[in-house]
């Protein structure tokens, strides 16, 4: 399940792309479960740092970080060492994690 490959800009990071069979039926809770299961295949103790629900525009954490034009949930996770990105259904859901 899912294609795993290094991030082109930083080979120490991993990027996972997952496409589900029924993208319209997938909700956030199930996407989070899928992301966590995949992260556990990659490392023993992944820590989820941030996420974005591309269907609704919601993201976590919701506070501003850095004052740049980059999305705050990305800035937050990168500042804390995020090195695993899981993209489900081409941005419907994105999770940034730290491999531990």
Q: pLDDT tens string for the chain (100 positions)?
A: 555 555 566 678 899 999 999 988 999 999 999 999 999 999 999 999 999 999 999 999 987 655 678 899 999 999 999 999 999 999 999 999 999 8
Find out whether 48 and 94 touch, Cβ atoms under 8 Å: no
Q: Is 75 exposed, middle or buried (0-12, 13-18, 19+ CB in 10 A)?
A: middle
Q: Is 6 exposed, middle or buried (0-12, 13-18, 19+ CB in 10 A)?
A: exposed
Q: How far is CA 78 from CA 24, 56, 89, in A?
A: 29, 22, 22
């Amino acid at each position: 399940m899912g294609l795993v490959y290094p991030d082109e800009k930083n080979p120490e990071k991993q990027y996972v792309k997952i496409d589900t069979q029924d993208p319209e039926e997938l909700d956030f809770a199930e996407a989070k479960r899928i992301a966590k299961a995949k992260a556990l295949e990659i490392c023993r103790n992944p820590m989820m740092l941030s996420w974005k629900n591309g269907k609704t525009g919601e993201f976590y954490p919701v506070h501003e970080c850095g004052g740049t034009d980059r999305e705050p949930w990305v800035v937050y996770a990168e500042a804390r060492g995020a090195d695993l990105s899981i993209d489900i259904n081409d941005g419907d859901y994105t999770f940034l994690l730290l491999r531990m």
